Amino acid sequence: MPLDFARTRTLLQQFDFQRLFIEELGWSHPDSRKPVAFSVREMDFTRREIAQLAGVSVYEIESAQHAIPDAKLRAAVQKEITQLRHENLLIFVDRERTQSLWYWVKRQDGKLYPRDHLYCKGQPGDLFLSKLGQIVFDLSEFDAEGNVTIIEVADRLRSALDIEQVTKKFFREFQDQHVAFLELIRGIRDERQRRWYALVLLNRLMFIYFLQKKGFVDGGKLNYLGDKLAESKQRGKNRYFREFLKTLFFEGFAKPEGKRSTDAKKLLGQIKYLNGGLFLPHHVEQHNPKIAVPDEAFDNLFALFDRYSWNLDDTPRGQDDEINPDVLGYIFEKYINQKAFGAYYTRTEITEYLCERTIHRLILDAINTPDAVKAHPIAGVKVRAYESLGDLLMDLNTTLCKRLLHEVLPGLSLLDPACGSGAFLVAAMKTLINIYAAVIGKIKFLNDRNLRDWLAKVERDHPSVSYFIKKRIITDNLYGVDVMEEATEIARLRLFLALVASAQQVDDLEPLPNIDFNILAGNSLIGLMRVNDADFEKRNAQGNLFRKNYKQVLEEKNRLIELFRHATEYAKDLTGLRDSIETKKHEAYETLNDILLEEFKSLGIKFEQATWDDNKKAAGKPIKRPLKPADIDTLHPFHWGFEFDEILNKRGGFDAILANPPWEILKPNGKEFFEEYSDVVTKNKMTIHEFEKEQSKLLGDADVRAAWLDYLSRFTHQSAYFRSALEYRNQISIVNGKKAGSDINLYKLFVERCFHLLRPGW
């Protein structure tokens, strides 16, 4: 029995939780419906069992003080209830029945992990419906005696409130299809660019696939891409990519209807203008204008896609073959999981838990600070110091709503310096959405004209309030960096998917935010944290920036990025604006890299070129030489003081850093390197002798040998920098006045780097 979303949403709004569980979720009536009074820590409560199933009970809890208790008291109440029913879900409600807090406890390794989910009357319910969709029970799921096991019910609660579901089967098929798709791309000679472009196309097509399955393409055509492929074949062979897809990308989604050619309108049908960088010409396309992809590639790809159910909503349908944005997140993380970069998949429950703990603490600190109390006194009332965000949200008043909406939430800067495919960024966005939703839901019950006028303006200017809030978060709060440019593109795609998921109809869609300069590619560990104006101007005197001082360079860069980031209407040449920013950044980087090169030289660091000893058939003694500008360029430095100068210089740093940093040791790894060249090496069970034999065989190839020597040459000068630079002074221990040797581990470097990126006070 699928969840009736309209009916469930109505019962949520009415706070009729008993009918919700029994009539919509398939649970049973309790043995007794009478309220029972009880006390915990000298506080009086009333509990009422509203539903049960296989020994799992749902209780409504109300305190004698008519407010939802704080975190510590909730834990004590749950402990008391557990003596009655070991498996339980508690719903704390206030007297007015406008706020509820759903409370469930995860047990793992002998420890308890509370999970609470706040729902307020008037709050958009889609995210909450996604949780309830996991605990629906159909008659077909009961045995002949009408029973279901307690284990099954407990697992459903865990699935709804704690555990992520992923589709490994789709990942395996996606891997195979990606390889086949890649082989069919023509017109790109560079192998890395060809692999990159395969991912670019897959990103765009999967994004459109979600849109079409939600009925947001050409008047609700659910098989738009497949139908257009069939039409293209009728016009001729292998014209789909050249004639249809390129028009769809660069005119359909990239231009408003009034700016499209007559032929494009006829070919495409009704396509919503989305913008957002995803449908601007990619660098690979600009450098390879003769790219060609045959129809066969799309036949195979769409055959894979059509075997699955694509669901963009926050409300899962419970199908085993369902592909949703979270599943794609898992796939993308696995796709870019290259141990050379120390990249690993972080499960959703971990990212969400860490983001909630971190962001909740940030907000509580902002509200509880003495300065905040002075700035917002409440006459005659002692200002409360909130211990949990749930306590804060349940106590929302006009002052708190205004502070959260206009000061605290918009001003948060959250960074993942090793963002991968954006798992932490998506989790941070979800955390902020829930807080915004609670605040906006509360506004309707507050008699404050300014707040109501603000909400009325948002509703007037934006078809979907949820879409507007997500777009605001993505644009103003989230920042990411990753050494793999492909990863940053996937991270942006995941945020775009999360954004359009909030649209209920195609008219809710607004142009996607331009976040190319929020989420950037580069080496987070190497680059200038602060830029000395005098150094920049001295080295730039003979450069390409016509003797502009550093302040002028920053102002021009920031002005153009702000114009690009907040462009909501069609810019005649948004691609040109993006490329202009990139050009100016490249010119500045020539000077910034030169400053970094001098820092390397001042530390006495030299480049060590690996050589080959023909007699030993192994690497020989390296040749030392002075570092060159090209050596710095190869490191892909990320100059934080330039890219995020306003956050670092004006705000003093980021408010929080949310990341699972790489955990690799910075040294050559032969097995890792040769996996790319040999299927034999990829096998898990391989003796040292077998590996050395295979390695010797591979190094007999001149091209492989040259790549191996180039690989070996990457490490020495980097290691020397990390051991000598002042920014990493804590990497080497001093024992009895002497440096103690140890491996350079990437996670240790990231910890020290992150410390310098945080604003003072942390």
Q: Which pLDDT score is estimated for 699?
A: 86
Question: Cα separations (Å) of 616 from 280, 612, 619?
Answer: 52, 9, 8
CA proximity to 649, closest of 532, 479, 762, 519:
532
State whether 142 and 184 are in the same domain: no
Asked which of 230-244, 506-520, 555-569, 594-608 is least confident by mean pLDDT, the reply is 555-569
H-assigned helices in 369-388: 370-375
Residue 269: name the closest of 260, 282, 278 by CA: 260
Do 142 and 256 share a structural domain? no
Chain segment 220-244, per-residue pLDDT in tens: 898 999 999 999 999 999 999 999 9
Residue 124 lies in a domain: yes
In a domain, 673, yes or no: no
pLDDT(377) > 50: no
Quote the pLDDT of residue 321: 58
Q: Which residue type occupies 248?
A: L
Of 21-35, 561-575, 650-664, least confident by mean pLDDT is 561-575
In contact, 264 and 246? CB cutoff 8 Å: no
How confident is the model at residue 316, as a pLDDT?
A: 40
Reported confidence tier of residue 716, pLDDT bands at 50, 70, 90: very high
Residue 233 belongs to a domain? yes
pLDDT of residue 577: 84
Q: Which pLDDT band holds residue 135 (cuts at 50, 70, 90)?
A: low
Most confident of 365-374, 623-632, 721-730: 623-632
Task: Tell me the pairing of strands 618-619 and 111-120.
Answer: unpaired
Rounded Cα–Cα distance for residues 440 and 334 (Å): 37
- In angstroms, the CA 656 to CA 754 distance is 9
Report whether 183 contacts 194 (CB < 8 A): no
Q: Residue 739 falls within a domain, yes or no?
A: no
Q: If you average pLDDT over each of 209-223, 470-484, 678-692, 722-736, which comes out highest?
A: 470-484
Q: Within a domain: residue 705?
A: no
Question: Does the pLDDT at position 630 exceed 50?
Answer: yes
623 belongs to a structural domain: no
Buried b (16+ CB within 10 A) or exposed e, 389-420: bbbbbbebeeebbbbbbeebbeebbbbbbbbb
Average pLDDT over residues 363-378: 67
Co-location of 247 and 352 in the same domain:
no
480 shares a domain with 380: yes
Long-range contacts, 395-400 (Cβ 8 Å, 24+): 395/67, 396/438, 396/439, 396/442, 396/446, 397/446, 398/446, 398/448, 398/451, 400/367
Specify whether 550 is located in the same domain as 643. Answer: no
Q: Are 125 and 13 in contact (CB under 8 A)?
A: yes
Query: Is the pLDDT at 379 greater than 60, yes or no?
Result: no
Q: Which amino acid is at 46?
A: T
Residue carrying structure tokens 């050619």: 261
Whether residue 679 has pLDDT greater than 80: no
Over residues 14-33, mean pLDDT: 86
| DSSP per residue, 536-585 | HHHHHTTSSSTT--HHHHHHHHHHHHHHHHT--SPPTTHHHHHHHHHHHH
Instruction: Using the structure block, give the residue that is written with the tokens 């091209």.
Output: 703
**Contact yes or no for 435/389 (Cβ under 8 A):** yes
* CA 676/CA 682 separation, integer angstroms: 8
- Over residues 598-619, the mean pLDDT reads 91
- Same domain assignment for residues 32 and 153: yes
Confirm whether 561 is domain-assigned.
yes
Count the Cβ atoms, other than its own, within 10 Å of residue 742. 12
Domain boundary among 300, 323, 346: 323
Mean pLDDT calculated for residue range 89-118: 83
pLDDT in tens, 50-91: 998 888 889 999 998 878 888 889 999 999 999 988 888 899
Residue 374: per-residue pLDDT: 47
Name the pLDDT band for 458 (thresholds 50, 70, 90): very high
Q: Which of 126, 161, 196 is the last residue of a domain?
A: 161
Instruction: Tell if the pTM clears 0.85, that is, is over it.
Output: no
Condensed to tens digits (0 to 9), the pLDDT of residues 512-548 reads 888 889 999 999 999 999 888 888 888 776 555 556 7
Q: Would you say residue 676 has pLDDT above 80?
A: no
**DSSP at 282:** P
Domain count for the chain, please give it. 4
Residues 404-428, mean pLDDT to the nearest whole number: 93
Residues 287, 435, single domain; the answer is no
- Tell me which residue range forms the domain holding 473: 337-506+516-524+638-662+750-762
Residues 211, 313 within the same domain: yes
Q: Quick one: 651 and 755 in the same domain? A: yes
Task: Give the distance, in angstroms, between the CA of residue 262 and the centroid of all CA atoms in the same chain.
Answer: 38
Residues 752 and 731 sit within 8 Å (Cβ to Cβ):
yes
pLDDT of 202 strictly over 50: yes
Higher per-residue pLDDT: 396 or 374: 396
Average pLDDT, rounded, for the chain: 84
pLDDT band at 601 (very low <50, low <70, confident <90, very high): very high
With a cut of 80, say whether residue 713 has pLDDT above it: yes
CA distance 311 to 317: 8
66's CB contacts (< 8 A; 6+ apart) are 94, 95, 96
Q: Work out the average pLDDT over 407-427.
A: 93
The yes-or-no verdict on residue 313 having pLDDT over 90 is no
Can you give the pLDDT at residue 760?
A: 87
Among 604, 630, 651, which residue terminates a domain? 604
Three-state DSSP string of 664-685 = CECCCCHHHHHCCCCCCCCCCC
Q: Are residues 467 and 403 in the same domain?
A: yes
Question: Domain check: are 145 and 188 in the same one?
Answer: no
**pLDDT(152) > 70:** no
- 381 plus 434 within the same structural domain: yes
The answer to the question of residue 724 being in a domain is no
CB 45 within 8 A of CB 64: yes
**How far, in Å, CA of 242 to CA of 573, rounded?**
22
Please list the helix, strand and coil fractions of the chain in percent, rounded to the nearest 5, in that order: 50, 10, 35
Whether the per-residue pLDDT at 590 is higher than 80: the answer is yes
Confidence (pLDDT) at 644:
95
Residue 608 has pLDDT above 70, yes or no: yes
